[in-house]
Chains A and B, each alone.
Chain A
Amino acid sequence: MTVPVLELCSLDKSFGALAATRDVSFSVQPGEIHALIGPNGAGKTTLIQQIYGASAPDRGMVLLEGQNITSMAVPDRVRAGIGRSFQISNVLMDFTVLQNGIIAEQARLGQSFRFFHPAFEDSALIDGAYQILDRVGLTPRAGQKVSNLAHGERRMLELALALATSPSLLLLDEPMAGAGPEESQRMADIIDGLRGTMAILLIEHDMDAVFRLADRITVLVEGAVIASGTPHEISNHKAVKAAYLGSE
């Protein structure tokens, strides 16, 4: 039996009287694209935050490749193998695309704490940065300042930065949000291309993308898992239809 990349064990989290996460348990298997869907306010982002380490669950456990990471800080979880893109593009706005890559590359190499080594002029770092950008096809835009990029390109850059650490689990929080149809298509192609190389937990509202990409789907409603299964099982699930898909 293979160890799941991510295993959530009865996570609970409430903000005051609001139970944002209620007894959530599911697992993400190696190499699969696992979609997490649910209506607005279902607690998807709150759950991602607990997996990522930005907020702590009240009860329950988060296991990454069998290791308990529930009380680990965010940077330690990243080093343990979690990569993330955020709901709102989270890149280094004041820098160029290439500089974003260089900063990610030196972080990946564990060389960010060097005082007298050049950064933006170092050819080894520049080569590494181009490799990071190549994965999402941003190399032609390397010299551009990030603030000049189109929204979709920023999302691509963010994905590239998340991939730079070679994560075993990639958390994607609405990677297609706000993107045009072409950009969504490209993003979906890239995510599809990652299948099998790492486990991906995908939050997405675009149901066409979810059903195209996901190997398995977990449905969250009001903080609780109401169904988990293959796309085929989910699309025929009564409770899901009633609570979520039926409303569309």
Chain B
Amino acid sequence: MNRPSTVLALIISAMRANRLLWGLIAGFALFPILTYTADLPFWNDIAMRIMLLGMAAMGLNLVLGYGGMVSFGHAAFIGIGAYCVGISQFYGLTNGWAHLAISILACGVAGLIIGYLALRTTGIYFIMITLAFAQMLFFLFVSLESFGGDDGMSIDRADFLLVDLYDPHRLYFLIWLCLSFVALALMLIVRSRFGVTLAAIKSNESRIEAMGLFPLRYKMTAYVISAVICGIAGTLFASWQEYVSPDIMHWTRSGELMIIIILGGLGTIAGPLVGAIVFLLLEEILPIMLGSIAPAYAENWMIIFGPLLIMVVLFGRGGLTGLLARWEKAGRTGTRHENRP
């Protein structure tokens, strides 16, 4: 009953509803032309970092924004994904697709176990349990001396069959492809029957039970999907960084992902990507700006970023995408008024 034509129609209607997202993804596709002609390869690096963190934040947003589950430990899944590459290479497995498959499996299993235990709680307890699991994994990898322990291990860019990732543009477009795929999949999921059930559980769990459904199954599934997406981001992160250490799953990164989502807009598809763009650009630009005024304080760019974030949270209901949507709406009604005779 799910004919290809209906799936296509679904994709088109979902794409129409998310113009901002697809505009940004198209922008990322064209960005290397700009950096190539302007001879600024360094910016490709930043764009890759943005896409990777944006992808991970999109994954987290499925549980945080759509499902209302405040997970404070999703960096762990990025770390598991990255270590799957490092450990596979340690044992001589160099195929990138194999790394990806192992990461997806490992993050799926880890997500299932952590989700199964953590989702029995809600609110502050859920936040603390997810954080605790992430910290456990962090210290586990710190203690694994054979995999570099605290210092981490260096990684060769994975071998994706015919694709040589040492050509920087190849890695760029592999990341871009994965980002597009994740965005498309999430876009369909949140509009699907599963997706609206998840949103309904966030709205009122007991009514969903009264409809004969087990909320935990839906929440766990969402949790596992989001863990797997973070794992994919982590796998690519390892190749991009050519290095992995427990730092990749430090709890501050879980916080970073949450900041990115809140900045961009909770429970929107484009939000995490917008948030990642703004967050990482500010991370680059603010120290330079601050350094030109007061060189001694360049490191403390968070002094400016912090108040900015607070302003977005206070005044931009729905984050930056919420602000954009309201401006667009205001602009449209404005012109309508002008057109009146």
Q: Any chain B CB within 8 A of the CB of A111?
A: yes
> Would B214 and A73 count as touching, CB distance under 8 A?
yes
**Segment of B39-47, B75-83, B191-199 engaged in the interface with chain A:** B191-199
Q: How large is the interface on B (under 10, 10 to 19, 20 to 34, 35 or more residues)?
A: 20 to 34
A74, A76, A91: residue with the most chain B Cβ atoms closer than 10 Å: A74
Query: Which one of B20-28, B174-182, B204-212, B240-248 is at the A interface?
Result: B204-212
- State the Cβ distance, A53 to closest chain B Cβ, in Å: 9
A15 at the interface (CB under 8 A from B): no
Which of A108, A116, A119 meets B196, CB within 8 Å?
A119
Out of B188, B193, B200, B207, name the residue touching A113 (CB < 8 Å).
B193
In the complex, B18 has a CB within 8 A of chain A:
no
Given known pairs A94-B203, A95-B200, A95-B203, the reply for A119 and B195 (CB within 8 Å) is yes
Contact with B along A63-100 (1 / 0, CB 8 A): 00000000001111011000110100011111100010
Q: Which residues of A contact B221 (CB under 8 A)?
A: 113
- Determine if B211 and A103 form an interchain contact, defined as CB atoms under 8 angstroms apart: yes
Interface bits B208-242 vs A (CB < 8 Å: 1, else 0): 11111110011001000000000000000000000
* Most-contacted residue by chain A among B2, B189, B207 (CB, 10 A): B207
A78 touches B212 (CB 8 A): yes
With both chains docked as a complex, state the minimum distance between the C-beta of A11 and any C-beta of chain B, in angstroms: 21
Chain B residues positioned under 8 Å from A248 (CB to CB): none
Contact status of A113 and B204, CB under 8 A, knowing A84-B210, A104-B211 = no
Instruction: Report B-chain residues with C-beta under 8 Å of the C-beta of A99.
Output: 196
Q: Is A208 an interface residue (CB 8 A)?
A: no
Q: Does any Cβ of A come within 8 Å of B292's Cβ?
A: no
**Smallest distance from the beta carbon of A72 to chain B beta carbons, Å?**
12
CB distance from A248 to the nearest CB of B (A): 32
Instruction: Please indicate the chain A residues that have their CB under 8 angstroms from the CB of B200 in the complex.
Output: 92, 95, 103
A86 vs B206: C-alpha distance in the bound complex, in angstroms?
10
**Cα–Cα, bound, A119→B190 (Å):** 10
State how many angstroms separate the Cβ of A86 from the closest Cβ of chain B.
8
User: Nearest A residue to B198 by beta-carbon distance?
Assistant: A112
A181 at the interface (CB under 8 A from B): no
Which of A26-34, A158-166, A188-196 participates in binding chain B?
A158-166
Q: Which chain B residues border A115 with CB–CB below 8 Å?
A: 188-189, 192-195
Is residue A212 contacting chain B, with contact meaning CB distance below 8 A? no
Are B194 and A112 in contact, CB atoms less than 8 angstroms apart? yes
Given contacts A92-B200, A118-B10, contact A164 B211 (CB under 8 A): yes
- Once A103-B196, A112-B193, A121-B13 are accepted as A-B contacts, the answer to whether A92 and B207 lie under 8 Å apart by CB is yes
- Hey, which chain A residues are within 8 Å of B217, CB to CB? 113
Assembled-state Cα–Cα distance A106/B196 (Å): 10
Known contacts A95-B203, A117-B2; is-contact A78 B193 (Cβ 8 Å): no
Cβ-defined contact, B196 with A165, below 8 A: no
Q: Which residue of A lies closest to B189 (CB)?
A: A115
A52 vs chain B, min Cβ distance (A): 8
Closest-by-CB residue of A relative to B202 is A94
Q: Are B209 and A93 in contact (CB under 8 A)?
A: no
Q: Is the CB of B10 within 8 A of A78?
A: no
Query: How far, in Å, is A83 (CB) from chain B's closest CB?
Result: 8
Q: Does A239 contact B (CB under 8 A)?
A: no
Bound complex: CA A73 to CA B214 (Å): 9
B7 located at the interface, meaning its Cβ lies under 8 Å from any Cβ of chain A in the complex: yes
**A93 and B204 contact, Cβ closer than 8 Å, known pairs A111-B193, A113-B194, A118-B191:** yes
With A106-B193, A115-B194 known as contacts, the answer to whether A161 contacts B203 (CB < 8 A) is: no
The reply to whether A107 and B197 contact each other, CB–CB distance below 8 Å, is yes
Contacts of A73 in B (CB 8 A): 214
Q: Judge whether B188 and A120 touch: CB under 8 Å.
A: no
> Is there contact, CB below 8 Å, between A90 and B204?
yes
A111 to B6, CA, bound (A): 17
Q: How far is the CB of B234 from chain A (nearest CB, A)?
A: 23
Chain B neighbourhood of A164, CB < 8 A? 211
Question: A162 contacts which of B7, B188, B204, B210 (Cβ < 8 Å)?
Answer: B210
Chain A positions within 8 Å of B209 at CB level = 74-75, 78
A52 to B211, CA, bound (A): 12
A234 part of interface (Cβ distance < 8 Å): no
Tell which of A84, A94, A103, A118 touches B197, judged by Cβ atoms closer than 8 Å.
A103
Which residues of A does B touch, CB under 8 Å? 73-76, 78-79, 83-84, 86, 90-95, 99, 102-104, 106-108, 111-121, 161-162, 164-165
Given A106-B193, A116-B189, 7 more A-B residue pairs with CB atoms under 8 Å apart are A73-B214, A95-B199, A95-B200, A103-B211, A104-B211, A107-B213, A120-B191
- Which residues of B line the A interface, CB within 8 A? 2, 6-7, 10, 13, 188-189, 191-197, 199-200, 202-204, 206-214, 217-218, 221
The 8 lowest CB-CB distance pairs between A and B, nearest first, are A78-B212, A107-B211, A119-B196, A94-B203, A112-B197, A114-B193, A79-B212, A119-B193
Please name 21 pairs of A and B residues whose Cβ atoms are closer than 8 Å in the assembled complex, sorted by A.
Answer: A75-B212, A76-B212, A78-B209, A78-B212, A91-B204, A91-B207, A92-B200, A95-B199, A99-B196, A103-B196, A106-B193, A112-B194, A113-B218, A115-B193, A117-B192, A118-B6, A119-B195, A121-B191, A161-B210, A161-B211, A165-B211
